[in-house]
A and B are shown apart, each in its own frame.
Chain A
Amino acid sequence: QLQLQESGPGLVKPSETLSLTCTVSGDSISGSSHYWGWIRQSPGKGLEWIGSIYYSGTTYYNPSLKSRVIISVDTSKNQFSLRLSSVTAADTAVYFCARNYGDYVNWYFDLWGRGTLVTVSS
C-alpha cells in the first residue's frame, strides 16, 4: 500500500532554509510515471501548491515561490525533497507531500502524506 511520509525540522529560524523530505513506500518513484508534489497550508488558511517533480528531475514550481524553492529527487532512497530559502513567519505552515496523478499537467493529488508542521521563529 502506497504511503508518503514527511520528515524534517519542525522549527526554522527566519532567513534560514527550510528542508523537508518525503519518503515514498509501496511504490517506486523511478518506476512509476507519476510526478510528486509539495503542498502547504498556513494555520487556519487554505491549500497552496508549492511544486512537483518527476523522477528524472523535471520540475514545476508555483511562480509565487519559484525564486526560493528547490525540489529534488533521490531515486536510490525513494525520496523527494523540498528546500525553501529565506523563510519568514509567513512560511509557517503544515507541509504535505502528495502524488500527482492523471493526465500530464492536468493532475490531481490522489495520495497525501499526513503533513508536518514547520514553524518559522527565532
Chain B
Amino acid sequence: SYVLTQPPSVSVAPGKTARITCGGSNIGSYSVHWYQQRPGQAPVLVIYYDSNRPSGIPERFSGSNSGNTATLTISRVEAGDEADYYCQVWDSSSDHRGLFGTGTKVTVL
C-alpha cells in the first residue's frame, strides 16, 4: 500500500525557513495537501493541491511537489508556527482512500 514518509522533527530559528518533506513513490503524480495541528486542537488546512493557500493562511506558507517528494516551506518562521504538520493525498490506485503522512513536529528554537 502507498506510504507517505515525513521526518519526525524539524527545528528552525525564528525568522529562518523551515522545509518539511513528504516522500512517496511518484508523489508528483498525486495532489498533496498540508495541515497544521497545534497541541490539543484540530488540524487546519494550510496548503491544498500542492501549492494553493486557503484564505487566511499567511503567504509565508508555500508548497511544491515533484518526483518523489512534496515540500511544505514556511518562510520567516514565527513562534506561532510551532506545531505538527501532516501531508495528505487521496490514493485511488486500488480502493479510494485518504492517506496522511507520518507527521513532522516543527520546533521553533
Which residues of chain A are near B97, meaning CB under 8 Å? 49, 60-63
Cβ contacts A96-119/B at 8 Å (1 or 0 each): 100001110111111011110000
The verdict on A81 contacting chain B, using a C-beta distance below 8 Å, is no
Contact B100 A114 (CB under 8 A): no
Contact A46 B100 (CB under 8 A): yes
Contact B90 A47 (CB under 8 A): no
Question: How large, as a class, is the contact surface on chain B?
Answer: 20 to 34
Q: Which of A49, A108, A114: most chain B Cβ within 10 A?
A: A108
Distance in angstroms between the alpha carbons of A103 and B103 in the assembled complex: 24
Contact B100 A96 (CB under 8 A): no
Distance in angstroms between the alpha carbons of A61 and B96 in the assembled complex: 8
Contact A106 B90 (CB under 8 A): yes
Which residues of chain B are near A109, meaning CB under 8 Å? 33, 35, 43, 45, 88, 98
Please provide the chain B residues from 70 to 93 with a CB less than 8 Å away from any CB of chain A in the complex: 86, 88, 90, 92
Which residues of chain B are near A103, meaning CB under 8 Å? 31
Which residues of chain A are near B100, meaning CB under 8 Å? 39, 46-49
Q: Which of the residues A48, A102, A115 comes within 8 Å of B49, measured between beta carbons?
A: A102
Min distance, Cβ B12 to any Cβ of chain A, angstroms: 21
Distance in angstroms between the alpha carbons of A20 and B48 in the assembled complex: 28
Contact A110 B45 (CB under 8 A): yes
Task: Name the residue of chain A whose CB is nearest to the CB of B95.
Answer: A63
Binding site for B on A (CB under 8 A): 37, 39, 46-49, 52, 60-63, 96, 101-103, 105-110, 112-115
